[in-house]
Amino acid sequence: MCFMKRQILLIVLLFFGFSSFSQDWSDLIYLLNAEDAQRAAANKEETKARIQQTKEIYHSSRDYPSTIIDGWHKVMISDNYTLCEESKVYVVNNQITKVFLSNNFERRVSFTGPIRDAKAVVKVTKSNGQESNYLDVYFIDDIISPNSGVSAPQKPGQVCFYSDLKWGGTISVNLEGYGAGELTTYFQQGQQPNCGQKGTLTFTCKSGEYAYGATNGNRDWGGRVTITEGHCSLIRLGK
């Protein structure tokens, strides 16, 4: 199923309501998971191509800036295997002090070396708390336009799902582009949890509008949510 078909399917479900398709919910999840697997395979090939292109552009240069000025810079970050993406880093005294992967998601720097020939090596703390492998940071833009700077990265926002449906059982939630999760507990009527509180399901996302769907087998929910920088949107799944 291509991306466009997925979007059409989500629109149909949101328009007519998930309740009309409850008996086919497992088939829907299977299709979405199959598409995710196909997309992962395609992304792997795209990543390999980006790694090769980044290295070719970097090594084709005959002149590198002696230092990188303090401030924000757009870079390419790669682990030379599964990751190669445009990101932003903050430089102080020719060393990287902050890393925002994909220009949005900050990762704490656990190791950084000096920038030499518009390239550095860093380690960051991943979202699961584990330390990454060594990552190569290429200052491609600074090679092309020495001492160029960029604006600060846009911070992500969050959407937090919770339920006050007593005896609602397990609620499966799917957020467009960010996968799925489950709610297994409920809050008292009128009780509004904090974003990320235990018992909620919270996604951290880039700013934008996303479709979501949820079901407990007997009741279905669906809609769209707008994520804004630094803000958490609460979505109650109830009666």
Inside any domain, residue 195: yes
Q: What is the largest CA-CA distance in the chain?
A: 67
Structural domain count, the chain: 2
Confidence class for position 65, pLDDT limits 50, 70, 90: very high
| Mean of pLDDT values over 200-205 | 92
Lowest mean pLDDT among 10-19, 62-71, 182-191, 220-229: 10-19
Average pLDDT, the chain: 84
pLDDT at 24 over 90: no
CATH code, domain carrying 203: 2.60.40.10
pLDDT at 41: 66
Confidence class for position 190, pLDDT limits 50, 70, 90: confident
| Mean of pLDDT values over 70-94 | 94
Inside any domain, residue 14: yes
pLDDT at 152: 87
Looking at the fold, whether 109 and 161 belong to one and the same domain comes out as no
pLDDT at 189: 84
Cβ atoms of residues 238 and 163 within 8 Å: yes
pLDDT at 108 over 80: yes
Distance of CA 115 to CAs 69, 97, 118, 134, 223, Å?
Answer: 11, 11, 6, 14, 46
Order of strands across the sheet with 171-175? 179-183, 171-175, 208-215, 220-227
| Mean of pLDDT values over 58-74 | 93
Inside any domain, residue 35: no
Cβ atoms of residues 78 and 119 within 8 Å: no
Looking at the fold, whether 101 and 69 belong to one and the same domain comes out as yes
Ramachandran assignment for 95, one of left (phi > 0), alpha (psi -120 to 50 degrees), beta (any other)? beta
pLDDT at 126: 84
Looking at the fold, whether 65 and 137 belong to one and the same domain comes out as yes
Looking at the fold, whether 165 and 137 belong to one and the same domain comes out as no
Cβ atoms of residues 90 and 72 within 8 Å: yes
Cβ atoms of residues 233 and 157 within 8 Å: yes
Distance of CA 102 to CAs 31, 66, 67, 83, 203, Å?
Answer: 27, 26, 24, 11, 16
Looking at the fold, whether 135 and 103 belong to one and the same domain comes out as yes
Looking at the fold, whether 166 and 212 belong to one and the same domain comes out as yes
Task: Give the structural domain span for 159.
Answer: 8-19+155-237
Looking at the fold, whether 99 and 173 belong to one and the same domain comes out as no
pLDDT at 168 over 70: yes
Lowest mean pLDDT among 13-17, 83-87, 125-129, 156-160: 13-17
Total-model pTM? 0.63
pLDDT at 209: 92
Looking at the fold, whether 217 and 159 belong to one and the same domain comes out as yes
If we measure between CA atoms, which residue out of 209, 200, 233, 201 comes closest to residue 11?
Answer: 209
pLDDT at 26: 54
| Mean of pLDDT values over 226-237 | 92
pLDDT at 32: 54
